Structure 1
Amino acid sequence: MRKLFNVCLLLLLFSGTTIAQTTTGKTFTNPLMPSGADPWVIQKDGFYYYTNSTGGNIVIWKTKDITALSTSPKKAVWSPPAGMAYSRDLWAPELHFINGKWYVYFAADNGDNNNHRIYVIENSSADPTQGTWEFKGKIADSTDKWAIDASVFESKGSWYMIWSGWEGDHNGQQNIYIAKMKDALTIGSERVKVSSPTYTWETNGDLRDGDLTHVSVNEGPEILKHGNKQFLIYSASGCWTDFYALGMLTADKNSDLLNPASWKKSDQPVFKQSPENSVYAPGHNSFFKSPDGREDWIIYHANSNPNEGCGNKRSPRAQKFSWNKDGSPNFGVPVKDGQPLVKPSGTK
């Protein structure tokens, strides 16, 4: 009996050690990498493809474990030629798969921020880290005003582009615009403004490079679909402030998305800084599903200390989120650096 007891005890201890090791092996901590602003993730054929702003080129990471970005292979897939209108300040690239081809939408200029516009490159390879990326030009509505942070999405068989832009030719306020697309390379309607900074939490930040004394910001729009709703999650206030945060617009999926009245703005941010967790200026996010499709996750950039601004100290972070009873997303509070989190379900 004693021998049997000892054997069972050893088995239990061994089993416990194995379980502990397995659990530890399935956790991760934020940040995912030391630096990486404007993170974007898309899933296809069992892989995550990730990109973020580098300023000078387009880089794509390929991985089956999005939380292992720091050790995942990456490839610089495209660099602009010198001396062009799109050679400098490449911001917020987004990778999309549309009608059998890959597209990267990004903002760029010639070194003068006033000239920022949206550009697009195309690749017909099944794997966006392979094949050849071809520059297809600028993509703009008829006004051709300052524009950054383009994203595209499909709704009821039509494709739309959303972005952050100026109403006129001078800085002072960034709005969120939407337009219907004719195809992946062409805007097919007039732009419609669906959001302007109106609440106090959207208007933090003195203008740094102009003759105005204040700037209000809505930027980084992303679409999140759930049930019969479409949520437009955007970043508000200056990215150079600790008050950079996420706001939300809500529309019924069957509504006219080009009608501003279809979009209802929440009066409070849905994700903001957490001084108690030492996370500042969280924003410019995207969304992804766990490998098994059971969980919803947000990936975003943030700073680990106050007053770190819009530089290379912004790092990508990920955390699981849930849904409120009314069907809206509940992103919770940004988790602190180094806190162990269980990896997305189905991660191998």
Structure 2
Amino acid sequence: MNSLQRLLLVVTLLASSHTLLAQRTFTNPIKNSGPDPWVLQKDGWYYYMNTTGSNLTLWKTRNIADLATAESKVIYTPPAGQPYSRELWAPEIHSFKDNRGDARWYIYFSADSLNNLTHRVWVIENPSPDPMQGEWTMKGKIGDKDNHWEIDMSVIDYKGQLYATWSGWEGAGNGRQDIYIARLKNPWTIDGDRVKISQPDQPWEMHGDVPQAWQKNGEVAKIYVNEGPEFLPHNDRLFIAYSANACWLDYCLGLLTYTGAGDLLDPKSWTKSAGPVFTQAPENGVWAPGHGGFFRAADGKDWMIYHANPSATDGCGNKRAPHIQPFTWNTDGSPNFGKPAPKTPMPVPSDH
């Protein structure tokens, strides 16, 4: 084989390799179970979490489509008897810099000590470069000054200022969950008052019939839900996608929009979508989609992650599994999520 033939062979092999990589596919769901999925992409790695109920488990992978075989580790188990020792929900891992400019990891999770009435959000911290290593320490409860019920907190660094958004009650279990926002003094401390920017007040987000069995236990007959808020920045605008209705019903996504004008903490600076922006697709085998997040692949394509049920009657249990799919942007700058993708092979998110 002469030099030219060798060169042609190398080029052919490289081209074949690239084609094989480009043709890699996955099929939703990317893991058999995973309520309240969350993904953070940092330094070429995807860090993934979902509700387990009893601990905080972290997954780490180069491509989120490979989640089912990814490295995983229980990184935190709360001590028994603590006010954050039960019903751990919706954990999210984030990375923020401290006052010295050093990056630290933070995980926000909802937990209680007795029952759902005691649910609050808690924060743990890890200074290790790799969140799978090092020691996680409890920073404490993060909440408003009046200690209201709260779950599903997410945090963003928006133009150099930290903000948190979450789902909470106005009073003590009034049958309605609202969306709140607040400024943060640091990653574990709210600075000032919480501000309500959404409550279930549209017909499409008020399908709140409670199962009869729950009513026998003293629950109200209807619960109207706004929960699972997730920030989505795009150019000079900021969105919050949130889950409406109930996880045992036709869970769907609504959208709050901040246009970039006015105070982020002024409710008048936010507008609500006229209808749901992402709904279930029975024709594709996807029911009750909601509570997820967003990430950008290496090729610049935007993706969403959300949990969904495989049938209409699966409710709020562990049959909820993580799905991912790309989304686009409308001409007015708002996200276009389309509808839940069918459970057929799709190209994996780009990792190079």
TM-score (norm 2): 0.90
Structure 2 matches for 1:170-319, cutoff 5 A? 170-207=173-210, 208=214, 210-241=218-249, 243-292=250-299, 294-319=300-325
Q: Which deviations, in whole Å up to 9, do the C-alpha atoms of 1:61-95 show, x marking residues without a partner?
A: 11111000000100100000111111100000010
- Local SS of the residue matching 1:38: coil
CA separation in 1, counterparts of 2:166 and 2:297?
Answer: 27
Distance change (3 Å), C-alpha of 1:296 and 1:210? farther
Residues matched between the structures, number: 331
5+ long unaligned stretches in structure 2? 1-8, 98-102
Counterpart CA distance in 2 for 1:59 and 1:295 is 27
Residues 210 and 226 of structure 1: CA distance in aligned 2, closer, same or farther (over 3 Å): farther
Whether contact under 8 Å (1:171, 1:210) holds in the other structure is no
Identify which of 116, 134, 137 aligns with 1:134: 137
SS at match of 1:190: strand
Counterpart of 2:104 in structure 1 is 101
Q: Check if 1:32 corresponds to 2:30.
A: yes
Contact 2:63/2:351, CA 8 A, preserved across alignment = no
SS in 1 for 2:322: strand
**Deviation string, structure 1 residues 96-124 (Cα, Å, up to 9, x no partner):** 10111100000000131000000010000
Query: Which residue number corresponds to residue 57 of structure 2?
Result: 59
Q: Distance in 1 between matches of 2:117 and 2:260?
A: 35
Distance across 1 between alignment mates of 2:337 and 2:268: 25
Percent of pairs with identical residues: 52
CA drift at 1:24: 8.0
SS at match of 1:197: coil
- Contact 2:38–2:91 (Cα < 8 Å) also in 1: yes
Amino acid at match of 1:89: E
Answering whether residue 176 of structure 2 is matched by residue 169 of structure 1, we say: no
Matched residue, 2:119: 116
Structure 1 contact 104–122 (Cα < 8 Å) conserved: yes
How far did residue 248 of structure 1 move? 0.1
Match of 2:6 in 1: none
| Counterpart contact for 1:89–1:111, Cα < 8 Å | no
- TM-superposed CA distance for 1:213, in Å, is 1.1
Q: Secondary structure at the match of 1:286?
A: strand
3-state SS, counterpart of residue 191 of structure 1: strand
1:341/1:144 CA distance change after superposition, 3 Å: same
Structure 1 82/330 Cα, relative in aligned 2: closer, same or farther at 3 Å? same
Is structure 2 residue 345 aligned with structure 1 residue 340?
Answer: yes
What is the rounded CA distance, in whole Å, between the counterparts of 1:54 and 1:113 in structure 2? 16
Whole-Å Cα distance in 2 between the matches of residues 260 and 20 of structure 1? Answer: 49
Is it true that 1:154 corresponds to 2:157 in the alignment?
yes
Structure 1: distance between partners of 2:203 and 2:251: 12
Task: Note the alpha carbon deviations across 1:138-184, whole angstroms, 9 max, x for none.
Answer: 11111211100000112222111100000001240000000100111
- Distance in 2 separating the partners of 1:226 and 1:156: 12
Instruction: Give the residue type in structure 1 aligned to 2:281.
Output: S
Contact 2:34–2:50 (8 Å) recurs in 1:
yes
Equivalent residues of 2:23, 2:347 under 8 A apart: no
Following TM superposition, the consecutive aligned residue runs of length 4 or more in structure 1 with deviations greater than 6 angstroms are none
